[in-house]
Structure 1
Amino acid sequence: MIAAPLLVFDFDGVLVDGMLEYWWSARRAALSLCPGQQLPERAPDGFALLRPLIHKGWEMVLAALELSRPDLDLGAYLSDYPQRTQQALERWELTPAVLQEALESLRAQAIEEDPEAWRALHQPYPGIPERLRRLEAEGSDWLVLTTKGGAFARQLLAGYDLQPKAVYGHEDGSKPEVLLRLSEASKALWFVEDRRPTLETVRETPGLEAVRCFLVSWGYLGPRDREALPEGIALLEPERFEQPLARWP
């Protein structure tokens, strides 16, 4: 009998839709660092376009600052995101550590002052909590691997009455690093993510060749992320996600 895999889920864009919270927190963190910038209460369209490119929390704070610039060339930002991000750090004279600290401090304050309001900015994708609860009945352990702070992810999961085997946040290392540590237990790993570049990095990491990678169709995907997926990465549709693991692609 084949042993059940250990399922490793990304959080934002896979289990939970946090777009409202992303802008809410990014905007406030940006204004705490650079008061006086003009940023709307409602997320501009450019923020949603940038979201599939954003990998870490500090980047969305920086993106909010960039979106406050009247002369921003959004097309160039989207087409050369890594270079434009580095230029933005220099323009605003900020570091990833400072941006990340501003974001996490703001989130911690929001949770302390009104945890229900903060949680309400997130919504689990339809059917996700129920499917995760069924995994245990099927004999499959699952955990969360996120670039969000682990404490924040645990707060949200507890609010949905979900208890993963573990939660790994950005403070635990990069996703490939954590997956390498998990692989030492020699149990089959299935990694479910909504960011194609992350999956491609995992596939290219020595020691992770055996990890089965799934790109969910419902997350924060770019317009071409579903096209011509490389070997070892399968598109996971909601209908297939609902089915037993043996029927996953």
Structure 2
Amino acid sequence: MTEQSVPLLVFDFDGVLVDGMAEYWWSARRAALALVPDLSLPEQAPPGFAQLRPQIHKGWEMVLMAAELGRPDLELAALLASYPAQLEQALLRWGLSPDQLQRSLERVRSEAIAEDLPGWLALHRFYPGVVERLQQLACAGSPWAVLTTKGGEFARQILRAAGLEPWALFGHEQGSKSEVLAQLLASQNRPIWFVEDRRPTLELVRSQAELGAVRCFLVSWGYLAPGDRQQLPDGIHWLEPEIFAAPLAQWP
């Protein structure tokens, strides 16, 4: 296999490589309380947070949803049924901007890393077999990258603690996932394979003609919404753990 035929595997981070649900609530709760101190939020994530997680796309949304879960009159079913519209209404309700919410989240995480890095890292866990598979890819000369809406330095800290060094790491600072994938297609003389756990993200990639050459995979683990596997569009392949662990030639 020539270098030009070896794909560049581009992995989403949260929900594909790492389960950080405990950290999401820990950080989102503190970031929300920093902005709205009179909120009443439990230490442990309420069930609604896990239900909302498949809808959440960017970090600032987690903070906003934490605030929403502190509302006594919240109608969770309505929020889940029309999340994008409800997101806009929630921003207006709280008088907050995405930038404010993101800055608060990143401040909480930066302080946690500075004050208790081992404690913060312990809130994350790699999915079974992921660390070993990424190490195998590196040993086999198959480059892999990380593309995440998390701040790049936060993802790098978690990877570094596991002894993992990606070919490249793209955080939200580098632009949207579609923008980064387009840049990779233009700059890399090799196939680009994109592995995600968020079906709407993959559907957006598939809808853009300039990204038609990107091979898309939806993992069977992670933060999936009910029905995500059903009637997958052409060009989005379902990826089970046993196939993830298999040689790339056996991937769909």
- Displacement of 1:205 after TM fit? 1.4
Equivalent position to 2:201, from 180, 185, 198? 198
1:220 matched to 2:223? The reply is yes
Amino acid at match of 2:238: L
CA distance in 1, matches of 2:139, 2:210: 30
Amino acid at match of 1:86: E
1:233 matched to 2:241? The reply is no
> 2:181 is matched with which residue?
179
Structure 2-normalised TM-score? Answer: 0.98
- For structure 2, list consecutive stretches of 5 or more residues without a partner in the other structure: none
**SS at 1:94 equivalent:** coil
Q: Count the aligned residue pairs.
A: 249
**SS at 1:52 equivalent:** coil
**SS at 2:15 equivalent:** coil
- For structure 1, list consecutive stretches of 5 or more residues without a partner in the other structure: none
Q: 1:82-161 alignment to 2 at 5 Å?
A: 82-161=84-163
Q: 1:55-66 alignment to 2 at 5 Å?
A: 55-66=57-68
Deviation per CA, 1:2-21: give whole Å up to 9, x if none: 61100000000000000000
Amino acid at match of 1:225: D
> 1:69 is matched with which residue?
71
- Displacement of 1:206 after TM fit? 2.4
1:207 matched to 2:210? The reply is yes
CA distance in 2, matches of 1:139, 1:156: 22
Amino acid at match of 2:219: V
CA distance in 1, matches of 2:190, 2:66: 40
- Displacement of 1:186 after TM fit? 3.0
Q: 1:10-49 alignment to 2 at 5 Å?
A: 10-49=12-51
Amino acid at match of 2:166: P
Amino acid at match of 1:118: W
Amino acid at match of 1:112: A
Deviation per CA, 1:68-115: give whole Å up to 9, x if none: 001001000000000000000000000000000000011000000000
**SS at 2:118 equivalent:** helix
> 1:52 is matched with which residue?
54
- Displacement of 1:207 after TM fit? 1.2
Could you say what the CA RMSD is over the residues aligned between the two structures, in angstroms? 0.7
CA distance in 2, matches of 1:245, 1:148: 27
CA distance in 2, matches of 1:35, 1:137: 49
Structure 1-normalised TM-score? Answer: 0.99
CA distance in 2, matches of 1:45, 1:227: 24
**SS at 2:209 equivalent:** coil
Structure 1 runs (4+) greater than 3 angstroms displaced: none
CA distance in 2, matches of 1:173, 1:136: 26
- Displacement of 1:230 after TM fit? 0.2
Percent identity between matched residues is 64
**SS at 1:39 equivalent:** coil
**SS at 2:78 equivalent:** helix
1:248 matched to 2:251? The reply is yes
Amino acid at match of 2:103: E
**SS at 1:118 equivalent:** helix
